[in-house]
Structure 1
Amino acid sequence: MPRFSVIVPAYKVQAYLHECLESVLSQSFEDLELIAVDDCSPDGCGAVIDEFAARDRRVVAVHLPGNAGLGPARNAGLARATGDYVLFLDGDDTFVPGALQAVADRLKETGSPDLLVYDYARVYWSGEAVRHEFRAHLSEAGPAPFPLTDRPGLLKVLMVVWNKAYKREFLEREGFAFPPGFYEDTPWTYPALMAAESIATLDRVCVHYRQRRTGSILRTTSHRHFDLFEQYERVFAFIDARPELARWRAVLFRRMADHFTSVFSARGRLPRGTRADFFRRARRHYRRFRTPGATPKFTTRLRHALVRLGSHRAYRAIMAARALKKRAGQGVSTAARAVRGALLQLHYRVQRCLPLREDRAVFAAYWNRGYACSPAAVEERVRELAPHVRTAWVCGPEHFHTVPPATRRVRPGSAAYWTALARSKYLVNNVNFDRRLVKRRGQLLIQTHHGTPLKHMGLDLQYRPAAARDMDFARLLRAIDQWDAVVSANRHSSLVWERVYPAAYRTLEFGSPRNDVFQRATAADVARLRETLGIPEGHTAILYAPTHRDYVRPQPHLVDLERLLRALGPRFVILARPHPTHGSPFPVTDSPRVIDVSDHPSVERLCLASDALLTDYSSLMFDYAVLDRPIVVHAEDWAAYDAARGTYFDVRAFPPGAVARTEDELIDIFATGHWRGSRSAQLRAAFRARFCPYDDGYAAERVVRHLFLGEDLAALPPVVPMEDRRPAPSLGGPGAALFPAPR
C-alpha cells in the first residue's frame, strides 16, 4: 500500500501532460502510485499516459471508453486508489519539487488528519507566479489537527480539489464521489471540509495552477455553466441530511450568491441570450436557500439584494455604472498625475536657474531601491572625510529604513528630488539617474557601476536582442555623455567600460568602493551578522547567488538545494539569494538549513556572513574573491548563457575556484572537499590578482579625496600589496577550515 495515490485526469492537455506527470514521478518522496485517467481524449493524452506507464511501475493507466467529464474521470481514478492518502492534480498543473515530501512530513507531524490543505500559486502563460490572496488561512500556527469550527476561514480558500490531501478511509467512510458537469469541485470540497473531523494546513506552495490563455473549461462559453445551480443543490442537500452541519448554512449561502454573481459578471462564460435566464435561476436559488446570519459588506449586500429581486438589468446597470465610475476616477488620476508632472518639471527648470550648492551631494543606487553598493560606501566616507558636504539619498519610502540617520532621505519624483538634482554639485549613482536629468555646468556626475563585467554590457547588447529587449541605445548614449568620472575596479573593467560606454569621462581605477567593507570588517562584525541571519554556531554557511537569465522566463532553478545539503552534511546551511531581477524566488523548501535571504538589503553583508560562495555567472564572484574564501562555479548552462547574453571571457577557463558542469559534478565537488582544496585556492589566488588589485579597503576614500576634496592622484593612499591585506575572517565550523591561498 503506497502512502499517496495521485489521480490525474487528462482531456485535451497533451501539451502539458508530460510536465504534469513528470512533476509527480520526479518528487523526492517516492512512496506513491500515479493513476492517470485518459478521459477518451481526442489528442495524444492516452499515448503519453501509456508511455509513462511503460517506463515506471508506479503509473496506473486508465482509459475510459467515452468522454465522461472531469468528475467521473476522477471517480474512475478513485476506484483504483490504494494509497493511505488521495491527492488530485489536473493534467495541465504541476507539483513543485519537494511538495510530496512536505505533505508527508506535515501529515506525520499532525497525527494523520482526515484532510490536509496546502497552498498553490497561479502560474500565468507569461511565467508570472502569484500566490492566492487568502493564504493567511493556511498558517501552521496553533494546534493541529483541528475541526473546521476552529478555522472557518478555510472556506474562503479557493474551493478546488487539488489543493488538499484526503485520507482514503475518510473518503470511503463518507462515500464521497464527484458529480458530473461543470463546477464539480463545489459539491466535493465544501462537504469534505465540513465532514472532516480533523484538518491540518501546510503553508507551502505545493501546486502550480496553470492559467492558460485558451482552453480552460471555466473560460469556455457554454450553457453548461448552468450546472452551477445543481452543484449547490447538492451542497445544501448534504447539509440538510446532517443537522449538525446547519451552522454552515449561512456561510455557504453567501458563498453561493457570490459564486452566482461572479459567473454572471464574467465575460464570455454565458452564451448570448442566456443571461436573463441565468439570473432568474439565481433568484430562485437565492430565495430557496436563503439563510439569515450572513453579514457581508454593503456592496456585497447590494449585489445579493439585486439577485433576490431578480433584476438582472438593474444589476448590469449598477455594475456598469461602478465600472464607469472607476474608469472616470482613473482618468482623473491620470490627468492629475500629468498636471503634477508638468508642475514638477517647471519647478526643476526654475531650480536649474539658481546657483549650485557646492556643499551638497545626492546619491542613489539600483534604480532607487535603497542604501547599497558603491554609492553607499562613498556616501559613508563623504560624511567621515568631508563633513562639510551635506548628503542626500534617493529611494522609495519602503527603503527609508536602510538609509543612515545622518543622511537626508529623498523620495523619487518629489519636488525635493528635482531640487536635489538641480542644485547639488555631486551626483553619484551605480546606474543612471532620471532620463530627464539635465546636468549643469559645474556639476560632477560620478558613475560607480555595480560589479566587474562578465556578461556583455552597454553597446555590446546591440547584437544580443534576447538580453537588450527594448533598450533605447540613443537614450543610453545621451545618459553616458553626462558622466564625468567612472570608478573602475580593475583594468579589465576599464577596458570594457570605455568601449561599451564611449564618452568623454575620466576612468579612475581606484577599486570597488562596495568591497571596502571586506577589509574593514572585524571578526565581531562577522559574528554579529551570522547571529542576525540565524546561522547556527559552528556551522558552515554557503551563499548561493545565481545570476539572472534575460532570455528565459520563468528563471530556471538549476540546483536542488536540499540534495546539495544532504551531500554537505548536517553542519552546513545555505543562504539562498536570487538575483534582484530574478522574477521569482527559489522553490519553497521546508528545510531549516536553507535560509531565504532574498529580501536582505546588503549582499556585501551576506558575503561577510558566509564561508563560501556558490554561483554561476554572477559578477558577485569578483567581489567575493576579495575575501579570499572558496568560490564554486556551477556552469551547467554556459553554452546557452554565452550565446544569448554574451560574455567577455570563458569563466570555466579562468575560474575563481572549482567548476561544476552538472549538478552531479557539483555534489561531487562538495562531497570530496574539492571546493576548499589546494587547487581551488590556487585558482582563487590567480583570479584575485587579476580582478582585485585595488580592493584594499581604501577605494571609497580615494574617490572622496580626489573628487570631493580635490587631492591629486599622487597624494591618494597607496594601494596595499595583496600579501599585506587582511580580509574579514570566516567564522564557519570545523568543516569550513580553509586552505590559505599561496602568497
Structure 2
Amino acid sequence: MPRFSVIVPAYKVQAYLEECLTSVLEQSYTDVEVIAVDDCSPDACGALIDEAAARDPRVRPLHLPHNVGLGPARNAGLELATGDYLLFLDGDDTLTPDALRDLADRLKATSEPDVLVFDYARTYWTGRTVRNQLADLLTEEGPAPFRLDDRPGLLSLLMVVWNKAYRREFVERAGFVFPPGYYEDTAWTFPVLLTADTLATLDRVCVHYRQRRQGSILVSTSRRHFDVFDQYDRVFAHLDARPELDRWRPVLFRRMVDHLATVYGRRGRLPRDSRAEFLRLARAHYRRHRVPGAPLGARHLLIGLGSHRIYRALSLASGLVRRARRLAAGAGRRLTAAALRTHYRIQLRLPLRADRAVFTRDEGGRYGCNPGALESAFRNLVPHIRTAWIARPEHHHTVPLATRRLRPDSAAYWTALARSKYLVHNDDFGPGVVKRTGQILIQTRQGTPLKRMGLDLRDRPAAARTADAGRMLRSADSWDFVLSGNRHSTLVWERVFPSGFTTLEYGLPRNDVFARATSADVARLRQTMGIPEGSVAILYAPTFRDYRRDHRPALDPERLLHRLGPRFVLLTRSHPSFGEPLARTTGDRVIDVSDHPSVEAVCLASDALVTDFSSLMFDYANLDRPVVVYADDWEAYEATRGTYFDVRDFPPGAVARDEEELADIFATGHWCGSRSQQRRRAFRERFCPHDDGRAAERIVRRVVFGENAWLPSVVPPAGRHPVPPAMAGGPTAPLTTVPVPGSRAPVAERL
C-alpha cells in the first residue's frame, strides 16, 4: 500500500502530460502510485501514459473506452487507488519539487487528518508565476488538526480538488464521488470540507496551476457552463441530508451567488443568445436556496432580481466610483512625486554637508555587507561625520541605534542624497539621483567576481536580457572609488566598467570581522542558531542560476545527512533572489539560516562551507576553514552565465561533481585533509591578500583624509590567525563578551 495515490486524468493534454507525470515520478519522496486515466483522448495521451508505465512500474495506466469527462474519469481512478492518501493532478499541471515529501511530513506532524489543504501558484505561458493571493489562510500556526469551525476562512479558497490531500478511508467511508459536467470540483470540495472531522494546512506551494493561453474550459464558449446550477444543487442537497451542517448554508449561499455572477460576468463563457436564460435560472436558484438576511450587494441584485440592466447600472456606478478613487489616488501620488522632485532640485542648489555620509545596499535592504561595515568604520574612526542608512521600513530594526534611518523616496532621503558629501552603495542609486560636484561616491560591489559581470554579460544568453550596457556605464561614470579585495577583482572591475574611478585594492570591509572574531563569539553565535554542541556544522550556500526559473536545490539535505551520520548538521542559506528556504523540513540537523541578517555570522558559526559558484567562497577562505565546491552543473553555468576561471582547476578545497561524490568527500575526511588544506592556502594567498581585519580602516582613511593619509600595513595571510571552527577548537570558550579592537561592541553583538 503506497502512501500516496496520485490520480491524473488526461484528455487533450499531450503537450503537457509528460511534464506532469515526470513531476510526480521524480519526487524525492517515492512511496507513490500514479493512476493515469486516459479519458479516450483523441491525441497521444494514451501512448504517453503507456510509455510512462513501461519506464516506471509505479504508473498504473487506465484507458477508458469512451470519453466521460473530468469527474467520471477521476472516479475511475478512485476505484483503483490503494494509497493512504489521495491526490488529484490535472494532466496539464505539475507538482513542485519535494512536494510529496513535505506533504508526508505535514501529515505525520498533524496526526493523519482527513484532509490536508496546501497552496498552489499559477504559472503563465509567459513564464510568470504568481502564488495564490489567499496564501495567508494556509498558515501552520495554531493547533492542528482542527475542524472547519476553527478555520472557516478555508471556504474562501479556490474550490478545486487538486490543492488537497484526502485520506482514502475517509473518502470511501463518506462515499464521495465526482459528478459529471463542468465545475465538478464544486460539488466535491464543499461537501468534503464540511464533512471532514480533522483538517490541516501546509503553507507551501505544491502545485503549479498552468494558465494555458488557449484551450482551457474556463475560457471556452459553451452552454456547458450551465452545469454550475446542477453542481450547487448537489451541494445544497448534501446540506439537506445533514441537518448538523445547516449552519454553513449562509456561507455557501454567498459563494454560490458570487460564482454564478462570475460565470455570467466573464465575457466569452456563455453564448450570447443564452445569457438571458442563464440569468433566469440564476434567479430561480437564488430564490430556491436563499437564506434570510442575505446581503444585497450588486451581485446579489444581479442574481436575485435577474435584471441585467440593474446590474449594469450598479456596475457602472461602482466602476465610476472606483475610477474616481483611482484617479484621486493617482493624482495624489503624482502630486507627491512632483513635490519630492521639486524638493530634490532645491536641495541640489544648497551647499554640500561635509560632515554627512549616507549608506545603503540592495535597493534599501537590511544593514550589512560592505556598506554596513564601512558605516560602522565611519562612526568609529571619523565620529564627526554623521551617518545615515537607507532601508525599507521592514529593515529599520537592523540599523544600529546610532545611525539615522532613511526611508526610500522620502523627503529626508532626497535631502541626504542631495547634500551628503559621501555616498556609499553596493549597487546603483537609480536614474533619478544626480551626482554633484564635490560628492564622493564609493561603490563597494558585492564580493570577488567569479561569474561574469558588467560588459562581459552582453554575449551571455542567460543574463544579456537584463544587461543594459548604457545604464551600467552611466552608473560607473558616477563612481569615485571602487573597492577591491585582490588583483583579480581590480582587473575585472576596471575592464568591465571602463570609467574614471579609482580602485581601492585594500580588502573588503565585510571580511574584517573574520580576523577579529574570537572563540567566544563563535560559541555565542552557534548557541543562538541552535547548533547542537559537539556537532560539525556545514554551511550550504549556493548562488542563483540565470538559466533556471525555479530554485530547486542541487542536493537533498536529508539524504546527505543520512549518509554523513548524526555528528553533522546542515545550515542552509538560500540566495536572496530565491524567496524561499532550500530545505522544506528543518529541525536539529537541518537549520535554515536564510533569514539571518548577517552572512558573516553564519560563516563564523559553521565549520565548513559547501557552495557552487558563489562569491562567498572568497570571503569564507579568510577563515581558513574547509571549503567544498559542489559543481554539479558547471557546463550549463559556464555556457549561460560564464566565469572568469574554472574553479575546478583552482579550487579552495575539494571538488564534488554530484551528490554521491559530495557525500564521499565528507565521509572519507577528504574535506579537511592535507590536499584540501594546500588548495585553500594557495586560494587565500591569491584572493585574500588584504583581508587582515583593517580593510575598512584603510578605505576610510584614504577616502576622508586623501592620498597622503597614513594607512595601516597589511598582515600577509601566513601571519594571520583567524578564529578556529568550533569542531577544531575543542570545548567552546565561555560565553563572555570580548571587545573587538576599534569597535564599541563584541563581534557577536554587532553581527
Q: What is the TM-score when the length of structure 1 is the normalising length?
A: 0.93
User: Which residue of 1 is the match for residue 747 of structure 2?
Assistant: none
Paired with 1:273 and 1:557, the residues of 2 have a C-alpha distance of 53
Question: Residue in 1 aligned with 2:748?
Answer: none
Distance in 2 (CA, whole Å) between partners of 1:387 and 1:105 is 53
* 202 and 423 in structure 1: CA distance in 2 versus 1, 3 angstrom threshold: closer
Q: 1:556 to 1:175 in 2, by over 3 A?
A: closer
Q: CA deviation at 1:420?
A: 1.5
Q: Take 2:256 and 2:527, find their aligned partners in 1: how far apart are those partners?
A: 51
2-side partners of 1:23 and 1:425: how far apart? 55
Contact 1:222 1:271 in 2 (8 A): yes
Q: 1:278 deviation in Å?
A: 2.3
Q: Please name the residue that 1:608 is paired with.
A: 604
Q: Which moved more, 1:208-217 or 1:121-130?
A: 121-130
Match of 1:208 in 2: 208
CA distance in 2, matches of 1:439, 1:37: 65
Equivalent residue letter for 2:13: V
Indicate how the Cα distance of structure 1 residues 575 and 264 shifts in structure 2: closer, same or farther if over 3 A, else same: farther
Match runs of 1:522-671 below 5 Å: 522-582=518-578, 585-586=581-582, 588-589=584-585, 593-671=589-667
Q: Which residue of structure 2 aligns with residue 170 of structure 1? A: 170
Structure 1 residue 235: deviation in Å? Answer: 0.8
Q: Which consecutive unaligned segments of at least 5 residues does structure 2 have?
A: 733-751
- Amino acid in the other structure paired with 1:318: L
Distance in 2 separating the partners of 1:188 and 1:734? 61
Match of 2:369 among 367, 373, 398: 373
Maintained 8 Å contact 1:565/1:573: yes
Between 565-574 and 616-625, report the one with greater CA deviation.
565-574
User: Is 1:413 the counterpart of 2:409 in the alignment?
Assistant: yes
Instruction: Give unpaired runs (5+ residues) of structure 1.
Output: 738-743
Q: CA deviation at 1:301?
A: 3.5
State the match for 2:694 in structure 1.
698
State whether residues 542 and 572 of structure 1, in contact with CA within 8 Å, keep that contact through their aligned partners in structure 2. Answer: yes
Instruction: Indicate which of 695, 715, 723 corresponds to 2:718.
Output: 723
1:447 and 1:164, CA in 2 relative to 1: closer, same or farther beyond 3 A?
closer
> Do the aligned partners of 2:13 and 2:45 also contact (CA within 8 Å) in 1?
yes
- CA shift, 1:263, in A, is 2.3
The equivalent of 1:389 in structure 2 is 385
CA distance in 1, matches of 2:525, 2:364: 25
Contact 2:298–2:311 (Cα < 8 Å) also in 1: no
Question: What's the CA shift string for 1:79-106, capped at 9, x where partnerless?
Answer: 2223333222211222333333443344
Return closer, same or farther for 1:218/1:587 CA change in 2, 3 Å cut-off. Answer: farther
Give a deviation string over 1:401-451, Cα, whole Å, max 9, x none: 111111111222222222212211111111222323332222211111111
Instruction: Give how far 1:556 is off.
Output: 4.4
1:98, 1:589 within 8 Å by CA — same for their partners in 2?
A: no
The answer to whether the Cα contact below 8 Å between 2:358 and 2:422 also exists between their aligned partners in 1 is: yes
Inter-CA distance 82–735: structure 2 relative to 1 (3 Å threshold): farther
CA distance in 2, matches of 1:208, 1:335: 38
Provide the rounded CA distance (Å) in 1 between the counterparts of 2:393 and 2:708: 38
Counterpart Cα distance in 1 of 2:229 and 2:662: 56
Q: Does 1:5 align with 2:41?
A: no
Aligned partners of 2:29, 2:335: CA distance in 1, in Å? 59
Corresponding residue of 1:488? 484
**TM-superposition CA deviations, 1:294-336 (whole Å, max 9, x none):** 6x6xxx7343233212222222333344344434443444444
1:317 alignment partner in structure 2: 313
Identity fraction in percent: 66
The one-letter code of the counterpart of 1:213 is: R
By how many angstroms is 1:11 displaced?
A: 1.2
Structure 1 residue aligned with 2:253: 253
Partner of 2:497: 501
Structure 1 residue 293: deviation in Å?
A: 6.0
- SS of match in other structure, 2:29: coil
Give the distance between the partners of 1:614 and 1:385, measured in 2 at CA. 36
User: Distance between the aligned counterparts of 1:699 and 1:71, measured in 2?
Assistant: 67
Counterpart selection for 1:520 from 516, 519, 543:
516
Q: 1:250 to 1:590 in 2, by over 3 A?
A: farther
Which residue identity is paired with 2:711? L
Change (3 A) 1:732 1:134: farther
User: SS of 1:79's equivalent?
Assistant: helix
Structure 2 residue 337 is matched with structure 1 residue 308: no
Classify 1:474/1:194 alpha carbon distance in 2 versus 1 (closer, same or farther; 3 Å). closer
- Cα 1:44–1:349 change in 2 (3 A) is same
Contact 1:428/1:445 (<8 A) preserved:
yes
Q: 1:285 corresponds to which residue?
A: 285
Find 2:463's aligned residue among 426, 445, 467.
Answer: 467
Conserved 8 A contact 1:571-1:735 = no
Instruction: Please name the residue that 1:22 is paired with.
Output: 22
Where does residue 118 of structure 2 map in the other structure?
118
The residue aligned with 1:35 is: 35
Q: Distance in 2 between matches of 1:587 and 1:131?
A: 19
Counterpart of 2:85 in structure 1 is 85
CA distance in 2, matches of 1:128, 1:593: 34
Does 2:424 correspond to 1:428?
yes
Contact 2:138-2:201 at 8 Å conserved across structures: yes
User: Is contact 2:530-2:588 (8 Å) kept?
Assistant: no
- Check whether the contact 1:538–1:733 (CA below 8 A) recurs between aligned residues: no
Distance 2:728 2:21 in 1: 41
Secondary structure at the aligned position of 2:123 is classed as strand
Instruction: Specify the alignment match of 1:740 in structure 2.
Output: none
The Cα of 1:143 is off from its aligned counterpart by 4.7
CA shift in 2, pair 1:470/1:536, >3 Å: same
**How far apart in 1 are the matches of 2:452 and 2:563?**
34
**89 and 735 in structure 1: CA distance in 2 versus 1, 3 angstrom threshold:** farther
Task: Give the C-alpha shift of residue 551 in structure 1.
Answer: 3.0
- Tell me the distance in 1 between the aligned counterparts of 2:615 and 2:291: 63
2:705 to 692, 709, 715: 709
Q: CA deviation at 1:547?
A: 1.5
Amino acid at match of 1:598: S
Which residue matches 2:745? none
Deviation at 1:654, TM superposition (A): 0.7
Amino acid at match of 1:511: G
Q: Which amino acid aligns with 2:175?
A: G
Residues 138 and 484 from structure 1, CA distance in 2 versus in 1: closer, same or farther, beyond 3 angstroms? closer
Is the Cα–Cα contact under 8 Å of residues 539 and 733 in structure 1 kept in the other structure? no
- 1:569-590 per-residue CA deviation (whole Å, 9 max, x = no partner) reads 2333322222222355536335
Per-residue deviation, 1:664: 2.5
Query: Would the aligned equivalents of 1:97 and 1:587 in 2 still touch at CA under 8 Å?
Result: no
Per the alignment, do residues 605 and 286 of structure 1 end up closer, same or farther by CA in structure 2, a change over 3 Å counting?
same
User: Could you say if the C-alpha distance between residues 480 and 2 of structure 1 is closer, same or farther in structure 2, counting changes exceeding 3 Å?
Assistant: closer
Distance 1:323 1:586 in 2: 44
